Structure 1
Amino acid sequence: MESQTVPKGQLWTGRILSGLSIAFLLFDGIGKFFLTSMPKEAMEAAAKLDYPMEVMPYIGTILLICTVLYAIPRTAFLGAVLLTGYLGGAVASHVRILNPLGSHILFPVYLGIFIWLGLYLRTPILRTFFPWKK
């Protein structure tokens, strides 16, 4: 999906934004398999979300699949759509327990912006669907 028609700076900015998003999501997804060995603060934060610890590996598996789909250029758009849904669930989970707005509730929104902006900058076909007026 990446093309030579994308300016080099724009292409690399998109790749960096996508790479940072992928790195964070892989770390988060893998971490859901090792909750018992995480620091005490991380365990307390996970417990506040009130999800049973037994379902965390399933949630991690879903996140990893969506992230891999996003990382593969041919399936990046599908991965971005699925990650948007996943991140929407994260927002809802934080709203439900009344976490702070800027640091917890909006963090998945910021990550979603990185995901879509990275894809937008490196994928010319996406700009035909969402053109910015000059």
Structure 2
Amino acid sequence: MTTQTRPATGPTPGTALGPQAQRAGWVVTALVTAFLGFDAVTHLLQVEQVREASAELGIPDHVIVICGAVLGALVVGYLIPATRAMAVVLITAYLGGAVAVNLIAEQPTLNTVFAILAAVLVWAGAWPRDARLRALLGA
């Protein structure tokens, strides 16, 4: 007696996606890394615009540097395959904090949407390239 198997309808959890998806992931990763990296550097250097925006929110200067260091470390972790999955989750949490601060301070809606979009792009860049993330969510 032979056993019938169902053909797979897509990649099984934890398997690689196609080369086009991987290339798209790299492009999104490059863009989001450039943006978040720039943001981290402007915080570390305490650029005047960052200091002014932070002062409006009641954020002291020393916290600006801490935020820049945390974001910078997370961006580096995002680029290292062994730490990418954890960095994606932690960057999402960091950006969730930005969303909360923007909402509490009643900042323009675009500020909140921008932080959410950045988090979505972080996931979009890593998703096609990291089977662990897909397996984590059973996709």
TM-score (norm 2): 0.80
Higher helix share: 1
Structure 2 counterpart of 1:7, which letter?
Answer: G
Structure 2, gaps ≥5 residues long: 1-13
| Mapped pair 1:58 → 2:66 | yes
3-state SS, counterpart of residue 121 of structure 1? coil
| Preserved CA contact (<8 Å) 2:99 2:112 | yes
Counterpart position of 1:82: 90
Q: Secondary structure at the match of 1:122?
A: coil
- Equivalent position amino acid for 1:64 in 2: G
RMSD in angstroms over aligned alpha carbons?
2.1
Q: Distance in 2 between matches of 1:4 and 1:89?
A: 32
Q: Does structure 1 residue 111 correspond to structure 2 residue 118?
A: yes
1:38 aligns with 2:48: yes
Residue from 49, 60, 75 that aligns with 2:57: 49
Give, in whole Å, the separation in 2 of the partners of 1:54 and 1:8.
44
- Using the alignment, how far apart are the partners of 1:4 and 1:96 within structure 2? 41
Mapped to 1, the partners of 2:79 and 2:130 lie a distance apart of 13
Q: For 1:12-32, what per-residue CA distance to the aligned partner results, in whole angstroms no more than 9, with x for missing partners?
A: 100111111111111111111
What is the TM-score when the length of structure 1 is the normalising length? 0.83
Asked if the contact 2:51–2:64 (Cα under 8 Å) also holds between the matched residues in 1, the reply is no
Task: List per-residue Cα deviations over 1:68-107 (Å, max 9, x = no partner).
Answer: 1111111100100110110010001101110121x10111
| Aligned-partner SS, 1:32 | helix
| 4+ aligned runs moved over 4 Å, structure 1 | none
Q: Which amino acid aligns with 1:90?
A: A
Deviates more, 1:79-88 or 1:49-58: 49-58
Q: Relative to structure 1, is the Cα distance of residues 5 and 92 closer, same or farther in structure 2, using a 3 angstrom cutoff?
A: closer
